[in-house]
Structure 1
Amino acid sequence: MSVDEFTKLTEALTKLLSVLVWPALLAFVLVRFGPALKEFFSSLGEFTFKGGGFEATAKRKQAEAAAALVAASVARPDANRTPGSAARDAKEAAAVVAESVNARVIRRASEATALWVDDRPSNNIFERQSLEALGVSFVLATSTDEALDRLAKQKFDVIISDMGRPPDSRAGYTLLEKLRASGNQTPFVIYAGSNAPEHKAEARSRGALGCTNRASELFEYVLAALNRVG
């Protein structure tokens, strides 16, 4: 790393540290993925912290969301991950936040509640934190029955579901079918292990907003859902 690159990286880290509410998250990203994330931190230079009031708050939320989303992007299991692909995923995560998050999005997110259905919710901590940084509230369910019970008692702006939950290998679709059969049209996103075109097409044909295994794309789907129902 050149002196100039090191200087830019240090400046970006200083800006991030000044607004980040999760220092442990930053430490995780730096220790485990530091070499691959140089481009990510450089891209945070897009976030300016001039001014005060809501503008400064919005910029802080952008930085928090970006830090969590890049952690989600590079921490998700991938047997084919390399330092180069991790850097690309990190850069993509930063770009998604920079391009999609603004004051209007933050205002809408602060009013939103999402239902996340996954039998292993600890696998999605960083993904949730990226959206919580914008103000989205989450209710968690670990089974289809629990999700249906929560849906009977509360209205949600978006539903995120994994696919397989023992003993049902297609539990995501089971939940989606039950919802649509009951007339519930809440935007529904499948967050599972596949990003194959045929699986995306099947999800849409069944009434889902989308299907992905990429944290950045999930982030975009959720914001699109909030924009749709807002």
Structure 2
Amino acid sequence: MNVDEFVKVTEALTKLLGVSIWPVVLVVVLVKFSPALKEFFYGLGEFSFKGGGFEATAKRKQAEASAALVAASVARPDAETTPESAARNAREAAAVVADAVNARVIRRASAATVLWVDDRPENNIFERQSLEALGISFVLATSTEEALKLLSKQQFDVIISDMGRPPDSRAGYTLLDRLRSSGNQTPFVIYAGSNAPEHKAEARSHGAIGSTNRATELFEYVLAALNGRR
């Protein structure tokens, strides 16, 4: 992709979605995986965001959430990532937002506060942005003790936690178990490195609503919890 083509694609995309700021990482990924992702972005012209009667603000929120979730889904390519799989992940992320986000969801999200517990919060920037675009506020904690202190002073609509935080390799469950034993039933999601069925089952046995390593599934878990679906 040459410079002129790059400019045309990014300009067309921002005009299409009605947003002026696109996550920088998505531009980087677009360059890295240009052939397949360029096809995806051009294909967005045929993509129908549900709820065509939305006011402009709601459409913008939906578009911004889609941009950030696409970025989160493709920002960490591994050795097995191909341009085709990156484009497929991007399509899936955009479709998840289109299916999940409507005016009622945005109204509920705008009043929600989520506690995110992770000793490396910089790893989750785009996941947070995808939900912040809908109006969700975040409070960050980097340890179990800090999270418990915050929870003693404030109620949250959802809690997201990673699993291992040194020196506790099961810190996510440590926090979850302490909350459930105290009677705190705040919806809890584990966002960690595994998406294995046995780990999902274990998380539910501890009282979590789910466990995942996929940004799109995390997005769905949070919105489902806010809307009373678990």
Tell me the TM-score range normalised by the shorter chain.
0.7 to 0.9
- Tell me the distance in 2 between the aligned counterparts of 1:46 and 1:131: 21
- Aligned residue for 1:119? 119
- Indicate the structure with greater helix content: 1
- Aligned residue for 2:222? 222
- Aligned residue for 1:162? 162
Between 216-225 and 25-34, the greater mean CA deviation after superposition: 25-34
Q: 1:46 aligns with which of 45, 48, 53?
A: 48
Deviation at 1:82, TM superposition (A): 1.6
Deviation at 1:35, TM superposition (A): 3.1
Counterparts of 1:102-113 in structure 2 under 5 Å?
102-113=102-113
- Tell me the distance in 1 between the aligned counterparts of 2:164 and 2:191: 10
The TM-score with structure 2 as length reference comes to: 0.87
- Aligned residue for 1:186? 186
Cα distance, 1:208–1:9 mapped onto 2, change above 3 Å: same
Deviation at 1:87, TM superposition (A): 1.2
Deviation at 1:84, TM superposition (A): 1.6
Give identity over the alignment, percent: 80
Counterparts of 1:82-97 in structure 2 under 5 Å?
82-97=82-97
Q: CA RMSD in A?
A: 2.6
Deviation at 1:34, TM superposition (A): 3.5
- Aligned residue for 1:148? 148
Cα distance, 1:14–1:116 mapped onto 2, change above 3 Å: closer
Deviation at 1:17, TM superposition (A): 6.3
SS at match of 1:19: coil
Residues 20 and 64, structure 1, Cα contact 8 Å, conserved in 2: no
The TM-score with structure 1 as length reference comes to: 0.87
Residues 191 and 211, structure 2, Cα contact 8 Å, conserved in 1: yes
